[in-house]
Amino acid sequence: MSFPEVDTPALLLDLDQVERNVDRYQRAASAAGLQLRPHAKAHKTVQLGRLQIERGAIGVCCAKLAEAEALAAQGLEASFLITTPVVDAGKIRRLVELAKRARIMLVVDGEENVAELGRTGVTLDVLVEVDVGQGRTGVVPGAAARLAAMVSKQKSLRFRGLQGYQGRLQGVASLEERTALVREAMAKLAESERAVKEAGLPVEIKSGGGSGSFPIDLELKMLTELQPGSYVTMDTNYAKVDLGGDHSLGNPLTVLTSVVSRPVPDRAVVDAGWKSASSDSGVPSLLNGDGHGFEFAGDEHGIVRRNGAPVAIAPGDRLQLIPSHCDTTVNLYDSFVIHRSGKVTGTWPIVGRGKAQ
Ligand X SMILES: Cc1ncc(COP(=O)(O)O)c(C=O)c1O
Q: Which of 4, 8, 1, 24 is nearest to 252 (CA)?
A: 24
DSSP one-letter code for 245: G
Q: Which is nearer to ligand X, 223 or 351 (CB)?
A: 223
Q: Which is nearer to ligand X, 97 or 184 (CB)?
A: 184
| Residues β-bridged to residue 36 | 226
* Stretch in the footprint of ligand X (CB under 6 A) among 35-43, 67-75, 245-253, 339-347: 35-43
Which amino acid, residue 184? E
Q: Is 230 in the site for ligand X (CB under 6 A)?
A: yes
Site residues for ligand X, 52-81, by CB under 6 A, read 61
H-helix or E-strand spanning residue 160: strand 157-164
Q: Please state, in angstroms and rounded to a whole number, the distance separating the CA atoms of residues 128 and 106.
A: 9
- If one counts every other C-beta atom within 10 angstroms of the C-beta of residue 143, the result is 17
Q: Is 333 in the site for ligand X (CB under 6 A)?
A: no
Q: Is 135 in the site for ligand X (CB under 6 A)?
A: no
Q: Which is nearer to ligand X, 85 or 273 (CB)?
A: 85
Q: Per-residue x/- mask for ligand X, residues 77 to 116, rule CB under 6 A?
A: ------x---------------------------------
- Binder to ligand X among 59, 133, 228, 273 (CB under 6 A)? 228
Q: Which of 151, 150, 145, 144 is nearest to 125 (CA)?
A: 151
Q: Which is nearer to ligand X, 167 or 298 (CB)?
A: 167
Q: Is 357 helix (H, G, I), strand (E, B) or coil?
A: coil
Q: Is 156 helix (H, G, I), strand (E, B) or coil?
A: coil
The residue number whose beta carbon is nearest to ligand X equals 210
Q: 46-54 and 15-31 are packed helices; what angle lies between their axes, rounded to 10 degrees? A: 40
Alpha helices in the chain (DSSP H): 15-31, 46-54, 65-73, 89-101, 111-119, 144-153, 175-198, 214-220, 236-239, 326-330
Is residue 121 classed exposed, middle or buried when 0-12, 13-18 and 19+ CB atoms within 10 A define those classes? exposed
Site residues for ligand X, 237-256, by CB under 6 A, read none
Q: Measured from the CB of residue 210, what is the shortest distance to ligand X in angstroms?
A: 3
Angstrom distances, CA of residue 161 to CA of 95, 106, 248, 281: 20, 11, 31, 33
Chain centre to alpha carbon of residue 114: 26
Q: Measured from the CB of residue 246, what is the shortest distance to ligand X in angstroms?
A: 17
Site residues for ligand X, 157-216, by CB under 6 A, read 165, 167, 170, 210-212
Q: Measured from the CB of residue 43, what is the shortest distance to ligand X in angstroms?
A: 10
Q: Which is nearer to ligand X, 168 or 183 (CB)?
A: 168
Q: Which is nearer to ligand X, 167 or 346 (CB)?
A: 167
- Binder to ligand X among 12, 35, 37, 39 (CB under 6 A)? 39
- Binder to ligand X among 15, 42, 72, 92 (CB under 6 A)? 42
Q: Which is nearer to ligand X, 97 or 219 (CB)?
A: 219
For ligand X, the binding residues (CB under 6 A) are 39, 41-42, 61, 83, 165, 167, 170, 210-212, 227-231
